Structure 1
Amino acid sequence: MSSCSLCELPTPDPPITDESVDGEFCCHGCLAVAQSVGSVADADPDAASEELRPDTDPDKLPDDYDEQYLHVDGMHCATCEAFLESTAVDNDAIGAASASYATDTLKLHYDPDAVESDRLPELVSGYGYDATERALSDDTAMAGDVAVVKFLIGGGFFGMMTMMWYVLFIYPKYFGFEPLIDLSGFDGLYLFTQLWLLASLVLFYTGYPILRGAYVSLKAGEPNMDLLVAVAALGSYGYSTLAMGLGRTDLYFDVTVAIVLVVTFGNYYETRIKRRASDLLSELTAIQVDQARQPDGTTVPVAEVQPGDKLLVRPGDRIPVDGTVAEGVAA
Structure 2
Amino acid sequence: MGTGSSMKVRTDIRVDGMTCGACASRVESALGAAEGVLDARVNFASGRATVLHDGSTGDAVLRRAIEQAGYSAPERPEAHDDAELRRVAALRRRLVGAVVLGAPVMAVSMLPPLRFDGWRWFALVASAAVIFGSGWGFHRAAARNLRHRAATMDTLVSLGTTAAWVWSAVVLLAGLDDGHVYFETGTVIVALVVLGKWLEARATRRSGEAVRALARLSASTARLTDGTEIPVEELAVGMRFVVRPGERIATDGVVVSGASAVDMSMVTGEPVPVEVAPGDEVIGATVNADGSLEVEATRVGADTALAQIVRLVDEAQGGRAAVQRLADRVAGVFVPVVVVL
Task: Please state which band the TM-score falls in when normalised by the shorter chain.
Answer: 0.3 to 0.5
TM-score normalised by length of structure 2: 0.45
Higher strand share: 2
TM-score normalised by length of structure 1: 0.46
Of structures 1 and 2, the one scoring higher in RCO (CA 8 A, sep 6+) is 2
